[in-house]
Copies of this chain bind each other. A is one copy, B any other.
Amino acid sequence: MTVSELRPSAISPTVDFSMDGVQHGFLRLPYSRDDSAWGSVMIPVTVVKNGEGPTALLTGGNHGDEYEGPIALFDLARTLKAEDVAGRVIILPAMNYPAFVSGTRTSPIDKGNMNRSFPGRPDGTVTEKIADYLQRELLPLADIVLDFHSGGKTLDFLPFCAAHILSDKQQEARSFELVDAFCAPYSMKMLEIDAVGMYDTAAEEMGKIFITTELGGGGTATAKSAGIAKQGVTNVLRRADILKGGDRSAAGRTQWLDMPDGNCFSFAEDAGLIEPLVDMGDSVVAGQVVARIHPIGKTGALPSDVCTKMDGILCARHFPGLVKAGDCVAVVAVAV
Protein backbone atom coordinates (compact mmCIF):
# COMPACT_ATOMS: atom_id res chain seq x y z
CA MET A 1 0.00 0.00 0.00
CA THR A 2 1.20 3.55 -0.45
CA VAL A 3 2.43 5.69 2.39
CA SER A 4 -0.68 7.84 2.27
CA GLU A 5 -2.79 4.79 3.01
CA LEU A 6 -0.94 3.96 6.20
CA ARG A 7 -2.69 4.43 9.49
CA PRO A 8 -1.28 7.22 11.70
CA SER A 9 1.79 6.60 13.79
CA ALA A 10 1.17 5.03 17.17
CA ILE A 11 3.53 7.58 18.73
CA SER A 12 2.39 10.80 20.46
CA PRO A 13 5.07 13.41 21.16
CA THR A 14 4.77 15.42 24.37
CA VAL A 15 6.66 18.30 22.71
CA ASP A 16 5.52 20.68 19.97
CA PHE A 17 8.11 20.68 17.19
CA SER A 18 6.87 24.01 15.86
CA MET A 19 7.24 25.93 19.11
CA ASP A 20 10.17 28.24 19.83
CA GLY A 21 12.31 27.67 22.90
CA VAL A 22 13.76 24.61 24.62
CA GLN A 23 11.44 21.65 25.25
CA HIS A 24 12.37 18.37 26.93
CA GLY A 25 9.81 15.63 26.51
CA PHE A 26 9.05 12.21 25.12
CA LEU A 27 7.88 10.34 22.10
CA ARG A 28 5.24 8.18 23.83
CA LEU A 29 4.71 4.83 22.11
CA PRO A 30 1.90 2.70 23.60
CA TYR A 31 3.19 -0.79 24.31
CA SER A 32 0.72 -3.21 25.91
CA ARG A 33 2.44 -6.17 27.47
CA ASP A 34 2.29 -8.65 30.32
CA ASP A 35 3.88 -6.30 32.84
CA SER A 36 1.91 -3.21 31.82
CA ALA A 37 -1.42 -3.63 30.05
CA TRP A 38 -1.58 0.07 29.26
CA GLY A 39 2.15 0.82 29.22
CA SER A 40 4.26 2.88 26.86
CA VAL A 41 7.83 3.25 25.69
CA MET A 42 8.95 6.79 26.53
CA ILE A 43 11.70 7.98 24.17
CA PRO A 44 13.39 11.16 25.42
CA VAL A 45 13.45 14.01 22.93
CA THR A 46 14.59 17.62 23.05
CA VAL A 47 13.61 20.37 20.63
CA VAL A 48 15.46 23.67 20.58
CA LYS A 49 14.01 26.18 18.16
CA ASN A 50 14.62 29.81 17.51
CA GLY A 51 12.83 31.45 14.59
CA GLU A 52 13.28 30.37 11.01
CA GLY A 53 16.21 28.41 9.70
CA PRO A 54 17.27 24.92 8.84
CA THR A 55 16.52 21.89 11.00
CA ALA A 56 19.15 19.45 12.23
CA LEU A 57 17.98 16.03 13.38
CA LEU A 58 20.59 14.54 15.73
CA THR A 59 20.28 10.91 16.72
CA GLY A 60 22.19 8.53 18.99
CA GLY A 61 21.36 5.07 20.22
CA ASN A 62 20.31 3.76 16.79
CA HIS A 63 22.16 0.74 18.18
CA GLY A 64 21.78 0.53 21.92
CA ASP A 65 25.39 -0.30 22.89
CA GLU A 66 27.15 2.61 21.20
CA TYR A 67 27.88 5.46 23.60
CA GLU A 68 29.71 8.44 22.10
CA GLY A 69 26.54 9.71 20.41
CA PRO A 70 24.28 9.47 23.47
CA ILE A 71 26.94 11.18 25.62
CA ALA A 72 27.29 14.08 23.18
CA LEU A 73 23.53 14.38 22.70
CA PHE A 74 22.35 14.10 26.33
CA ASP A 75 24.99 16.73 27.04
CA LEU A 76 23.93 18.97 24.14
CA ALA A 77 20.23 18.59 24.99
CA ARG A 78 20.88 19.79 28.52
CA THR A 79 23.11 22.72 27.61
CA LEU A 80 21.90 24.07 24.28
CA LYS A 81 20.10 27.40 24.62
CA ALA A 82 17.45 28.66 22.24
CA GLU A 83 19.24 31.94 21.76
CA ASP A 84 22.33 30.19 20.39
CA VAL A 85 20.31 28.56 17.64
CA ALA A 86 19.09 29.88 14.30
CA GLY A 87 16.48 27.38 13.13
CA ARG A 88 15.82 24.14 14.93
CA VAL A 89 17.69 21.27 16.55
CA ILE A 90 15.82 18.03 17.26
CA ILE A 91 17.75 15.71 19.54
CA LEU A 92 17.00 12.03 20.06
CA PRO A 93 19.93 10.83 22.16
CA ALA A 94 18.61 7.25 22.33
CA MET A 95 16.59 6.52 19.21
CA ASN A 96 16.10 2.81 19.92
CA TYR A 97 15.44 3.55 23.56
CA PRO A 98 14.61 -0.01 24.71
CA ALA A 99 17.91 -1.19 23.21
CA PHE A 100 19.79 1.71 24.82
CA VAL A 101 18.34 0.99 28.28
CA SER A 102 19.37 -2.65 28.06
CA GLY A 103 22.80 -1.83 26.62
CA THR A 104 22.27 -4.05 23.58
CA ARG A 105 22.59 -3.51 19.84
CA THR A 106 19.01 -4.55 19.21
CA SER A 107 15.79 -4.04 21.09
CA PRO A 108 15.17 -6.53 23.89
CA ILE A 109 11.45 -6.31 23.04
CA ASP A 110 11.55 -7.55 19.46
CA LYS A 111 15.26 -8.05 18.65
CA GLY A 112 14.82 -5.27 16.13
CA ASN A 113 17.95 -3.81 14.55
CA MET A 114 16.81 -0.21 14.10
CA ASN A 115 19.13 0.34 11.18
CA ARG A 116 17.52 -2.46 9.17
CA SER A 117 13.94 -1.51 10.09
CA PHE A 118 13.21 1.42 7.79
CA PRO A 119 10.73 2.57 6.55
CA GLY A 120 9.06 0.86 9.52
CA ARG A 121 5.39 0.04 10.03
CA PRO A 122 2.79 1.83 12.16
CA ASP A 123 1.28 -1.56 13.07
CA GLY A 124 4.58 -3.42 13.38
CA THR A 125 6.90 -4.18 16.26
CA VAL A 126 8.06 -1.51 18.68
CA THR A 127 11.24 -0.99 16.65
CA GLU A 128 9.26 -0.73 13.42
CA LYS A 129 6.91 1.78 15.00
CA ILE A 130 9.84 3.99 16.00
CA ALA A 131 11.30 3.71 12.48
CA ASP A 132 7.92 4.61 11.01
CA TYR A 133 7.71 7.73 13.18
CA LEU A 134 11.15 8.85 12.10
CA GLN A 135 10.32 8.04 8.47
CA ARG A 136 7.02 9.86 8.32
CA GLU A 137 7.25 12.50 11.02
CA LEU A 138 10.81 13.51 11.93
CA LEU A 139 12.88 13.02 8.77
CA PRO A 140 10.51 15.25 6.74
CA LEU A 141 11.20 18.06 9.24
CA ALA A 142 14.98 17.82 8.81
CA ASP A 143 17.46 19.45 6.47
CA ILE A 144 20.53 17.74 7.85
CA VAL A 145 20.72 14.48 9.78
CA LEU A 146 23.62 13.36 11.96
CA ASP A 147 23.31 9.77 13.22
CA PHE A 148 25.97 8.64 15.70
CA HIS A 149 27.37 5.11 15.66
CA SER A 150 30.30 3.34 17.25
CA GLY A 151 31.33 -0.31 17.15
CA GLY A 152 29.17 -1.47 20.04
CA LYS A 153 30.08 -4.33 22.34
CA THR A 154 31.42 -6.61 19.61
CA LEU A 155 33.36 -4.34 17.22
CA ASP A 156 35.96 -1.61 17.53
CA PHE A 157 36.52 1.18 14.97
CA LEU A 158 39.04 3.87 14.25
CA PRO A 159 37.15 7.11 14.97
CA PHE A 160 35.64 8.47 11.77
CA CYS A 161 32.74 10.49 10.42
CA ALA A 162 31.30 9.25 7.11
CA ALA A 163 28.86 9.81 4.28
CA HIS A 164 27.81 7.71 1.32
CA ILE A 165 28.73 7.79 -2.33
CA LEU A 166 25.43 8.99 -3.82
CA SER A 167 24.06 9.25 -7.34
CA ASP A 168 23.03 12.87 -6.64
CA LYS A 169 26.50 14.40 -6.65
CA GLN A 170 25.33 17.73 -5.21
CA GLN A 171 23.75 15.93 -2.26
CA GLU A 172 26.95 13.88 -1.94
CA ALA A 173 29.17 16.95 -1.99
CA ARG A 174 27.18 18.70 0.73
CA SER A 175 27.30 15.55 2.82
CA PHE A 176 31.08 15.23 2.50
CA GLU A 177 31.37 18.89 3.40
CA LEU A 178 29.67 18.20 6.70
CA VAL A 179 31.83 15.12 7.26
CA ASP A 180 34.82 17.38 6.78
CA ALA A 181 33.30 19.84 9.23
CA PHE A 182 32.76 17.16 11.86
CA CYS A 183 36.54 16.77 11.80
CA ALA A 184 36.97 13.34 13.35
CA PRO A 185 40.52 11.93 13.19
CA TYR A 186 39.41 9.91 10.17
CA SER A 187 36.69 10.44 7.54
CA MET A 188 35.19 7.72 5.38
CA LYS A 189 33.60 7.61 1.92
CA MET A 190 31.22 4.67 2.11
CA LEU A 191 29.65 2.63 -0.67
CA GLU A 192 26.89 0.44 0.80
CA ILE A 193 26.45 -2.93 -0.88
CA ASP A 194 23.08 -3.54 0.68
CA ALA A 195 21.41 -0.34 1.88
CA VAL A 196 17.90 -1.76 2.24
CA GLY A 197 16.23 -0.89 5.52
CA MET A 198 18.85 1.63 6.70
CA TYR A 199 18.01 4.93 8.34
CA ASP A 200 20.77 6.37 6.15
CA THR A 201 18.97 5.31 3.00
CA ALA A 202 15.62 6.57 4.25
CA ALA A 203 17.11 10.02 4.86
CA GLU A 204 19.09 10.11 1.62
CA GLU A 205 16.12 9.08 -0.49
CA MET A 206 14.26 12.11 0.89
CA GLY A 207 17.18 14.27 -0.29
CA LYS A 208 18.44 15.04 3.21
CA ILE A 209 22.09 15.71 3.94
CA PHE A 210 22.97 12.66 5.99
CA ILE A 211 26.21 11.99 7.87
CA THR A 212 27.07 9.27 10.31
CA THR A 213 30.03 8.20 12.48
CA GLU A 214 31.93 5.27 13.91
CA LEU A 215 33.80 6.57 16.95
CA GLY A 216 35.29 3.60 18.78
CA GLY A 217 33.53 0.58 20.19
CA GLY A 218 33.63 -2.22 22.72
CA GLY A 219 30.51 -0.93 24.45
CA THR A 220 32.43 1.84 26.21
CA ALA A 221 33.49 5.43 25.58
CA THR A 222 36.65 7.24 26.60
CA ALA A 223 37.22 10.87 27.44
CA LYS A 224 38.91 11.13 24.07
CA SER A 225 36.19 9.45 21.98
CA ALA A 226 33.38 11.28 23.78
CA GLY A 227 35.25 14.50 23.18
CA ILE A 228 35.40 13.83 19.43
CA ALA A 229 31.63 13.35 19.42
CA LYS A 230 30.91 16.47 21.42
CA GLN A 231 33.21 18.62 19.31
CA GLY A 232 31.97 17.04 16.08
CA VAL A 233 28.31 17.82 16.62
CA THR A 234 29.16 21.41 17.48
CA ASN A 235 31.36 21.68 14.39
CA VAL A 236 28.57 20.38 12.18
CA LEU A 237 25.89 22.66 13.63
CA ARG A 238 28.19 25.61 13.14
CA ARG A 239 29.02 24.71 9.57
CA ALA A 240 25.29 24.36 8.90
CA ASP A 241 24.70 27.84 10.39
CA ILE A 242 22.28 26.42 12.92
CA LEU A 243 24.56 27.05 15.85
CA LYS A 244 25.55 30.67 15.90
CA GLY A 245 29.11 31.98 15.93
CA GLY A 246 30.47 29.18 13.82
CA ASP A 247 34.23 28.60 13.92
CA ARG A 248 35.16 26.68 10.80
CA SER A 249 38.85 26.40 11.53
CA ALA A 250 38.72 22.66 12.16
CA ALA A 251 38.02 21.68 8.54
CA GLY A 252 40.58 19.80 6.53
CA ARG A 253 42.44 18.22 9.41
CA THR A 254 41.03 14.74 9.01
CA GLN A 255 42.48 11.69 7.24
CA TRP A 256 40.13 10.42 4.53
CA LEU A 257 39.72 6.65 4.12
CA ASP A 258 37.95 4.32 1.73
CA MET A 259 36.52 0.76 2.06
CA PRO A 260 36.67 -0.15 -1.63
CA ASP A 261 34.98 -3.55 -1.78
CA GLY A 262 34.09 -6.79 0.06
CA ASN A 263 37.76 -7.79 0.21
CA CYS A 264 38.24 -5.41 3.08
CA PHE A 265 36.47 -7.90 5.40
CA SER A 266 38.03 -11.02 6.91
CA PHE A 267 35.77 -13.54 8.62
CA ALA A 268 36.47 -16.32 11.13
CA GLU A 269 35.85 -19.88 9.98
CA ASP A 270 36.56 -21.36 13.43
CA ALA A 271 35.45 -20.56 16.95
CA GLY A 272 37.89 -20.03 19.79
CA LEU A 273 40.11 -17.63 21.66
CA ILE A 274 41.27 -14.82 19.40
CA GLU A 275 44.83 -13.51 19.56
CA PRO A 276 45.15 -10.24 17.65
CA LEU A 277 48.49 -9.75 15.93
CA VAL A 278 47.96 -6.18 14.77
CA ASP A 279 46.22 -3.24 16.40
CA MET A 280 43.84 -0.53 15.20
CA GLY A 281 45.49 1.84 12.71
CA ASP A 282 48.40 -0.51 11.99
CA SER A 283 49.40 -0.98 8.37
CA VAL A 284 48.82 -4.41 6.88
CA VAL A 285 49.53 -6.09 3.56
CA ALA A 286 47.37 -8.54 1.65
CA GLY A 287 47.71 -12.08 2.99
CA GLN A 288 49.10 -11.02 6.36
CA VAL A 289 48.01 -13.06 9.37
CA VAL A 290 46.24 -10.47 11.51
CA ALA A 291 44.83 -12.80 14.15
CA ARG A 292 45.07 -16.37 15.34
CA ILE A 293 42.15 -18.38 16.72
CA HIS A 294 43.18 -20.85 19.44
CA PRO A 295 40.88 -23.86 19.95
CA ILE A 296 39.76 -23.82 23.59
CA GLY A 297 38.68 -27.42 24.06
CA LYS A 298 42.22 -28.67 24.61
CA THR A 299 45.80 -27.48 24.87
CA GLY A 300 48.38 -28.34 22.23
CA ALA A 301 46.07 -27.92 19.23
CA LEU A 302 47.02 -25.74 16.26
CA PRO A 303 45.40 -22.32 16.01
CA SER A 304 43.83 -21.22 12.72
CA ASP A 305 45.03 -18.05 11.01
CA VAL A 306 42.91 -15.13 9.84
CA CYS A 307 44.47 -13.23 6.93
CA THR A 308 43.77 -9.93 5.20
CA LYS A 309 42.88 -9.84 1.54
CA MET A 310 44.22 -6.35 0.71
CA ASP A 311 46.81 -3.75 1.69
CA GLY A 312 45.77 -0.88 3.95
CA ILE A 313 45.32 -0.06 7.61
CA LEU A 314 43.28 -1.93 10.19
CA CYS A 315 40.16 0.22 10.64
CA ALA A 316 37.86 -2.16 12.50
CA ARG A 317 38.21 -5.40 14.42
CA HIS A 318 36.32 -8.02 16.39
CA PHE A 319 36.26 -6.92 20.01
CA PRO A 320 35.43 -9.81 22.42
CA GLY A 321 38.13 -12.22 23.50
CA LEU A 322 36.21 -15.21 22.17
CA VAL A 323 35.22 -15.45 18.51
CA LYS A 324 32.59 -17.53 16.72
CA ALA A 325 32.74 -18.94 13.20
CA GLY A 326 31.30 -16.32 10.88
CA ASP A 327 32.31 -13.28 12.93
CA CYS A 328 34.01 -10.43 11.12
CA VAL A 329 37.54 -10.38 12.53
CA ALA A 330 39.18 -7.49 10.72
CA VAL A 331 38.39 -4.68 8.30
CA VAL A 332 41.04 -3.00 6.20
CA ALA A 333 40.65 0.54 4.81
CA VAL A 334 42.71 2.43 2.28
CA ALA A 335 43.91 5.99 2.83
CA VAL A 336 42.78 8.37 0.05
Contact = CB atoms under 8 A, between A and B. Distances in A.
Interface string A58-96: 000001011100110011011000000000000101100
A269 B320 contact: no
B37 A74 contact: no
A85 B300 CA distance: 17
Interface residues of A, number: 92
Contacts of A153: 34-35, 37
A26 to B, nearest CB: 7
Contacts of A1: none
Interface stretch (A172-180, A240-248, A270-278): A270-278
Contacts of A118: none
A189 interface: no
A309 interface: no
Contacts of A65: 34, 321
A20 interface: no
A271 B294 contact: no
A50 interface: no
Contacts of A78: 294, 299-303
Interface string A254-291: 00000000000101011101111111001000000000
A40 interface: yes
A161 to B, nearest CB: 19
B103 A299 contact: no
Contact of A113 (B32, B91, B226): B32
Contacts of A24: 298-300
A213 interface: no
A188 interface: no
A221 interface: yes
B277 A223 contact: yes
Interface stretch (A137-145, A204-212, A323-331): A323-331
Interface stretch (A41-49, A128-136, A163-171): A41-49
B297 A327 contact: no
Contacts of A44: 296-299
A147 to B, nearest CB: 16
A220 interface: yes
A191 interface: no
B273 A67 contact: yes
Contacts of A320: 35, 103, 219-220
A41 B326 contact: yes
A329 to B, nearest CB: 9
A149 B215 CA distance: 28
A276 B218 contact: no
B71 A294 contact: yes
Interface in A293-336: 294, 296-303, 319-322, 324-328
Given A269-B26, A324-B39, A275 B75 contact: yes
A37 B150 CA distance: 11
Given A71-B275, A103-B320, 10 more contacts: A28-B267, A36-B327, A37-B153, A75-B275, A78-B294, A78-B303, A93-B299, A156-B220, A219-B321, A221-B321
